[in-house]
């Protein structure tokens, strides 16, 4: 009898077993053949950095020259490649390495890609960069007199080129600048890095404007950060420009900095095109040993030509987040089916957890509670207007956008820059959450709202911890077989028809 009851479910268990076995085989194959480590942190770190160049060609010969990174302190360039159909490509070495694309004729929008594999190394060898020739600089009046006043103040409180530069930058960083600084900031607001270089040249200090790229995992459409290199006799030092919350070259302290251009040469020079733009995407991964890195990279891209690892870095960074979603969905299945936690919306906690990854956990929780609580008050008023469903949801969406805008402005005015991250929340999902909770309040009461809202937040936090764990991110991105394993587990959990853990409290009375 028992065997007879299991017979109809035998194909189901075979399917789950086959999926699980396929996943394990793919994981082991990738680990044994390509030496991708199963455990996070065993190996050396490689950054795949991709530059995407876009411009409009003018139906004439095109020459595109882009500065590219070289070996430097803390980084070793392992491999370089470019995608440029129809273009001739040359890598030009020298003090400032460059990549050069050429074509006899091109018209319309053009897109070029450059990719570098950069190893994080313990190398202390810094490239010797000679001091540039100091040009003659003269600004138009009255800005030239203002610059001379600022330089005189910095000179009086300094002892060498480095301290002189720090004093100069400090004057541009004061909250209430003096009149000469305010005049220069107003006139050169969009050219401030170049202005400071020109002012140093006026003071006969060797300096150049260089650019660096902050490496943050799975980032897309990033810009280079302008930096200042100053020489003092034979030594040189790199300075960060003063930053404020609205600067597009904001410095993040814990992100490693890769110097992309070190000599003051142009980042991008295009002849035969206009409306050019360049932005960067990057992704971090682990490789087993330095000796096999270059060989493994080459064979891996050949074999996985149709996998996500052969995609541009920008798309790979997007997939790194997408591949985490099944992990979040698995946790939701465990909590809802086996434990019995009730949530507002089935997979809404997964989307909220994705927002937490962008905002940080504490900021995300505070922002979520503020927006949902305020939205519920607005929704309670809308319920008295007897609106149709579509119009009511639209009004809630507009209200959520207004709430997020108001909180962002208030956070900025109060100096709470973390509050600006509230814009990462999915507004449509928040609107539906407010709508569902409002209806639930009317039908079931406030207690049920608290139960489902608390369950949603608890689930979102657990999903966030799982999806933000470096081991989980390493496994899901580097081993596609994990998806088959997760799918088989979801199928098995979905076949469970027994009591949920929280339902067992009903039997307390029988003790």
Q: What size, in residues, is the chain?
A: 511
**End-to-end CA distance of the chain, in Å?**
33
Residues of the chain within CATH 2.60.40.2250 domain(s) are: 48-123+269-283
pTM for the complete prediction?
A: 0.59
Question: What DSSP designation does 462 have?
Answer: H
3-state secondary structure 349-406: HHHHHHHHHHHCHHHHHHHHHHHHHHHHHHHHHHHHHCCCHHHHHHHHHHHHHHHHHH
Q: Please give the angle made by the CA atoms of 407, 412 and 416, to the nearest 5 degrees.
A: 90
CA–CA distance, 60 with 58 (Å, rounded to integer): 6
**Is the N-terminal amide bond of 142 cis, ω within 30° of 0?**
yes
For 48-123+269-283, the fitting CATH number among 3.40.640.10, 2.60.40.2250, 4.10.520.10, 3.40.50.2300 is 2.60.40.2250
* Contacts with 362 (C-beta within 8 Å, 6 or more apart), sequence order: none
CA–CA distance, 317 with 304 (Å, rounded to integer): 17
pLDDT in tens, the chain (511 residues): 444 455 567 888 899 899 999 999 988 887 787 667 777 655 678 898 999 999 999 889 999 999 999 888 888 888 888 878 889 989 888 778 889 999 998 888 999 999 998 888 776 655 677 788 888 888 888 888 888 888 888 888 888 888 888 888 888 877 777 888 888 888 887 788 888 888 898 888 888 888 889 888 878 888 888 888 888 876 777 777 764 434 444 555 567 888 898 877 788 999 988 888 999 998 887 765 433 444 444 444 444 444 566 666 667 777 888 889 999 999 999 999 988 888 877 788 888 888 888 777 887 888 888 888 888 888 888 878 877 878 888 888 888 888 888 877 777 666 555 555 565 567 777 787 888 888 888 778 778 888 888 888 899 999 999 998 888 888 888 888 899 999 999 999 988 887 788 777 766 665 5
């Amino acid at each position: 009898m028992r065997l007879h009851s299991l017979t109809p479910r035998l194909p189901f268990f075979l399917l789950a077993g086959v999926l699980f076995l396929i996943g394990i085989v793919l994981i082991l194959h990738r680990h044994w053949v390509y030496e991708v480590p199963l455990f996070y942190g065993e190996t050396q770190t490689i950054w795949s950095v991709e530059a995407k160049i876009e411009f409009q060609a003018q139906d004439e010969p095109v020459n595109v020259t882009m500065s590219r990174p070289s070996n430097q302190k803390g980084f070793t360039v392992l491999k370089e490649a470019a995608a440029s159909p129809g273009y001739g490509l040359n890598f030009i070495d020298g003090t400032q390495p460059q990549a050069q694309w050429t074509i006899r004729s091109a018209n319309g929008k053009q897109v070029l890609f450059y990719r570098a594999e950069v190893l994080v190394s313990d190398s202390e060898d810094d490239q010797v960069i000679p001091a540039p020739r100091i040009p003659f600089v003269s600004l138009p009046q009255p800005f030239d007199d203002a610059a001379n006043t600022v330089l005189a103040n910095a000179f009086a409180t300094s002892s060498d080129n480095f301290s002189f530069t720090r004093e100069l930058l400090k004057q541009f960083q004061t909250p209430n600048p003096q009149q000469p600084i305010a005049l220069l900031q107003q006139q050169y607001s969009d050219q401030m890095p170049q202005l400071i270089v020109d002012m140093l040249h006026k003071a006969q200090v060797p300096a150049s404007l260089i650019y660096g790229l902050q490496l943050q995992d799975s980032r897309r459409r990033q810009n280079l950060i302008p930096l200042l290199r100053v020489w003092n006799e034979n030594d040189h030092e790199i300075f960060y420009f003063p930053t404020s919350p609205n600067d597009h070259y904001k410095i993040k302290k814990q992100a490693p900095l890769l110097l992309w251009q070190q000599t003051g040469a142009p980042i991008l020079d295009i002849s035969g095109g206009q409306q050019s733009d360049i932005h960067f995407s990057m992704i971090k991964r682990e490789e087993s040993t330095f000796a096999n890195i270059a060989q493994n990279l080459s064979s891996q891209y050949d074999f996985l030509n149709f996998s996500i690892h052969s995609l541009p870095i920008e798309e790979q960074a997007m997939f790194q987040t997408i591949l985490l979603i099944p992990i979040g969905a698995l946790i939701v299945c465990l909590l809802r089916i086996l434990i019995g936690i009730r949530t507002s919306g089935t997979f809404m906690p997964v989307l909220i957890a994705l927002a937490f990854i962008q905002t940080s956990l504490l900021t995300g929780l505070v922002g979520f509670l503020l927006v949902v609580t305020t939205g519920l008050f607005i929704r309670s008023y809308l319920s008295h207007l007897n609106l149709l469903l579509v119009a009511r949801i639209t009004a809630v969406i507009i209200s959520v956008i207004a709430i997020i805008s108001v909180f962002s402005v208030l956070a900025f005015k109060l100096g709470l820059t973390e509050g600006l991250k509230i814009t990462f929340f999915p507004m449509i999902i928040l609107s539906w959450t407010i709508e569902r909770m409002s209806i639930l309040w009317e039908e079931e009461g406030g207690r049920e709202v608290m139960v489902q809202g608390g369950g949603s937040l608890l689930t979102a936090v657990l999903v966030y911890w799982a999806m933000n764990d470096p081991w989980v991110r390493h496994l899901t991105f580097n081993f596609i077989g994990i998806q088959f394993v997760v799918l088989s587990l979801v199928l098995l959990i979905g076949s469970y028809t027994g009591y949920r853990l929280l339902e067992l409290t009903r039997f307390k009375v029988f003790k």
